[in-house]
Structure 1
Amino acid sequence: MSIEIRKEIARRLYEEVVTEGRTELLETFVAEDGTDGSRPQASWSNGRKGFQEHVDGLRTSVPDVRATVTDLLAEGDRVVVFWRIEGTHEGELWGVPGTGRRIEADSISLITFRDNQIVNYSVLPDRLTILRQVGAVAA
């Protein structure tokens, strides 16, 4: 698989799966044994089901979520995605009940591929900025 194809799958993960809610694409994008290294392992399922839970949780917390890819870097079987999240905090997020406040923050994700599918996903969101925006942490 070419680096350009990996980058395109990574972009579509954010633009189509996260923003548009097209979770049926996870069947194509994510390996059955894929892992989401972003969340405590005891709290999520493995494979596509775990990715589905991650996306569903985000879209419940921020129903109008918009994920915009701002840059992609790739080498070998890995893609680094720089992306921006925007939306309205309506449901519980990191222990904070919905506030109705707008959030905007940058995130960086590392995606590892095997045989044209994602086998590991890790995201580093700017939690501090988001927690400040929803009033959970003083500015």
Structure 2
Amino acid sequence: MARFVEFINTAAPQLATELVSPDAVFHVPGRAEPVHGPQGYLEIIGMMRGGFPDIQWTLEETVIEGDVIAARFTMRGTHRGAFFGVPPTGKAIAVQALNIYRLSAGKIISEVGQPDLLGLMQQIGGLPRS
């Protein structure tokens, strides 16, 4: 997971190839169809960096059972690009995400992620706070 956190924080293509199976499937909130392989994961990171160019993930907790890893992250960044239709605000965000990964032969073969998009959208002014 330390190498994976390095990958998501740098978006290094060589780490994508090293850590993500070419057959991997990733389910992304807001997309009807999953993305695939190292390039698909780089697309996910690119989507987040489009709205938050300085985004960084901090691994807070993991639970491992067999070939499954549950990982809780805190995502932090500054809203400097449009994100889900919200123009840049310059506001800082800090939100949680819980992702479930499956591994095979030392590589990630799937991820289902649940970032706190409601909290994120509230922090950038895209939705009212209750």
TM-score (norm. length: structure 1): 0.84
**Could you tell me which residue of structure 1 aligns to residue 127 of structure 2?**
137
In the superposition, relative to structure 1, how do residues 38 and 45 fare at CA in structure 2: closer, same or farther (>3 Å)? closer
Deviation of 1:122 (Å): 1.3
1:76 aligns with 2:66: yes
Tell me, yes or no, if the aligned pair for 2:101 and 2:108 is still in contact at 8 Å.
Answer: yes
Tell me, yes or no, if the aligned pair for 1:31 and 1:47 is still in contact at 8 Å.
Answer: yes
Q: Which has the higher helix share?
A: 1
Moved over 3 A (4+): none
Alignment length (residue pairs): 128
Unaligned runs of 5+ in 1: 1-9
Task: State the structure with bigger RCO (CA 8 A, min sep 6), 1 or 2.
Answer: 1
Deviation of 1:115 (Å): 1.1
Mean Cα displacement is larger for which, 126-135 or 17-26?
17-26
RMSD: 1.5
Mean Cα displacement is larger for which, 129-138 or 95-104?
95-104
Q: What code does the residue aligned with 1:78 have?
A: V
Q: Give the fraction of aligned pairs with identical amino acids, expressed as a percent.
A: 24
Matches within 5 A, 1:5-20: 10-14=1-5, 16-20=6-10
Q: Which has the higher strand share?
A: 2
Tell me, yes or no, if the aligned pair for 2:28 and 2:44 is still in contact at 8 Å.
Answer: no
Matches within 5 A, 1:75-94: 75-94=65-84
Q: What code does the residue aligned with 2:103 have?
A: F
Q: Deviations over 1:13-68 (max 9, x none)?
A: 22x122223232010100001011124244x6421111111112212211111110
Unaligned runs of 5+ in 2: none
